Amino acid sequence: MEDVDDEIEGLEASLTEARRFLDEQLSSIDNVDGKAIQLFQVVTVLVGLLLSLLSFVYDGREAAAVGLLNPLTLAGVAFLMGAMAAAAITYSTGEYHAGVGVEDLRWIAEEGYADGEFRRGLHEDLLIGYADWIEANERANQRQGAFITTTILAIIYGVAFLAVGVVSVLLPNLWLPFAAVLGIVLAGITWLLEPIKGLRAIGRR
């Protein structure tokens, strides 16, 4: 009897640790969801400001507006739109498993376990369930991490291309050195964030 109690006590300790880890995963997913919404709102504001600026420039100055609508600025807008899409995907992929569901509770109440095996059987099944939920949440965390990184990079690239496009119109003699320096900075940021590695990890799962 004492051995059984010790075993159940060990199972309970394992369940407590598993619940703590699952709660941390859920908190991480919620945080990423919040960041995705904020980034989506930021990009929406940026695109709105760009449209307002172009409308202001176009009013009576068609040549200047056409000059600003060059391939570089259009690429910047495309990156920003891509960032909005990536942010939306980040939020939509934030599916998670929070623990015991309704069907599990009904099964326990209606069918349950054999007499004398209830606590042990319940604890063992819960541990298996926690392992599955943690694994599923880990995949969700990896997906969100890859897409939120892609969102951030798309915003950075979008702003960078817009800046180069504007400089090429206002300061045509300086835009190439400016673009070269900015390209080195972008390469460094991309290398640090490693978005391709995250996307490949998703593809392997």
Q: Is the pLDDT of residue 143 over 80?
A: yes
Average pLDDT value for residue range 160-164: 89
Residue 115 has, within 13 A of its CA and on its CB side, a CA count of 0
Among 19-28, 72-81, 86-95, 191-200, the range of highest mean pLDDT: 72-81
Rounded alpha-carbon distances, angstroms, from residue 41 to 127, 155, 156, 182: 40, 12, 15, 25
Q: To the nearest whole number, what is the mean pLDDT of the chain?
A: 76
Q: What is the pTM of this model?
A: 0.72
> Which residues have a Cβ under 8 Å from the Cβ of 129 and sit 6 or more positions away?
99, 100, 104
Average pLDDT value for residue range 178-186: 89
Average pLDDT value for residue range 115-127: 67
Contact 94, 29 (CB under 8 A): yes
